Amino acid sequence: MTDNDKPDNSGTPQGSTPERANPEVNDGSARPGQQAGPPPVPGRKRGSVNFQDASTTAPREPTLGEQRARRDALRREREAELAEYEEAERKRKLRKRVLIGAGVTVGVVAVVAVIYAAATPDEVTATCTSNGVVVDDDYCDPAYASAHNGYSSGGFIYIGGSSYRYNYGGTGRVGQPVSGGSYTAPSGNTSVKTASGKSVQRGGLGVGGSGKSSGS
């Protein structure tokens, strides 16, 4: 018997192709003799965000560069605060000096004004009168009276039987009655001048006065 005459024991009909086994799908099921593994993890979707729990997540320690940058920022902040404080103190002291200087200046000006006011005499106008009527200032001038055979006595100037004396502070024109004023010579630091500009010594020639007039 030849080999071709031997019966086929494979159980497959002649002329047919034996079927191949399909590859196993990895669905997590175990092959015979193997343990089942965990199911495949689905892939992370693009654009998803993972959230951390603040109560369980430990903060990350800052790096050396971050620590150095933080120290530099704190140092610059302290320096800026110190510079601002020093500038404010400088302005405050400057304002104080200005106020003190202004006060001293005002005080000096006030003192000078008081001294000037005390040193500057008051001015009173002396008007020559005869029986209350304004006459020419020459009649109250002792030099004029002496040149015209006149004389002075008791605050009066006598010339040719007429008497003349100064009125202090009064006003009026020649030939008119004097208005206001006083026949008592002013006392104190008072400058007395006639309307024509002649300077009369303090006390003048009024009643009770013993002064005399002089040309300016």
Tell me how far apart the alpha carbons of residues 213 and 113 are, in angstroms, rounded to a whole number.
31
Which of the pair, 122 or 160, is modelled with greater confidence? 160
- What confidence tens digit (pLDDT) does each residue in 8-29 have? 555 555 544 555 545 454 555 5
User: What mean pLDDT value characterizes the chain?
Assistant: 74
In sequence order, which residues have a C-beta less than 8 Å from that of residue 10 and are 6 or more positions away?
18
- For residues 209 and 144, the answer to whether their CB atoms sit within 8 Å is no
Q: Examine the pLDDT at 212 and tell me if it is beyond 70.
A: no
159 pLDDT above the threshold of 50 = yes
**pLDDT score for 164:** 95
- Lowest-pLDDT choice from 35-39, 84-88, 193-197: 35-39
Choice between 100 and 175, residue whose per-residue pLDDT is larger: 175
pLDDT at 54: 66
pLDDT of residue 117: 55
Query: Does 133 have pLDDT greater than 90?
Result: yes
Assess whether pLDDT exceeds 50 at residue 139. yes
Answer yes or no: pTM beyond 0.85. no
Q: What span, in angstroms and rounded, lies between the C-alpha atoms of 71 and 54?
A: 26
Mean pLDDT of 28-43: 57
Mean pLDDT of all residues in 71-77: 91
With tokens 């008497």, the residue in question is: 163
pLDDT > 90? residue 113: no
- Where are any strands of DSSP class E within the chain? 122-130, 133-134, 151-153, 156-159, 162-168, 190-194, 199-200
What's the rounded Cα separation, in Å, for the pair 35 and 159? 162
Q: Give the mean model confidence (pLDDT) for residues 155-180.
A: 91
Share of the chain above pLDDT 90, in %: 19
Using CA atoms, how far apart are residues 163 and 158, in angstroms rounded to an integer? 5
Question: What pLDDT is recorded for position 178?
Answer: 92
Residue listed under structure tokens 């300077």: 199
On the question of pLDDT at 84 being above 50, the answer is yes
Higher pLDDT, 189 or 207: 189
Residue 175: the pLDDT is: 92
Whether pLDDT at 4 is above 60: no
Q: What is the mean pLDDT of residues 68-91?
A: 90
pLDDT of residue 210: 39
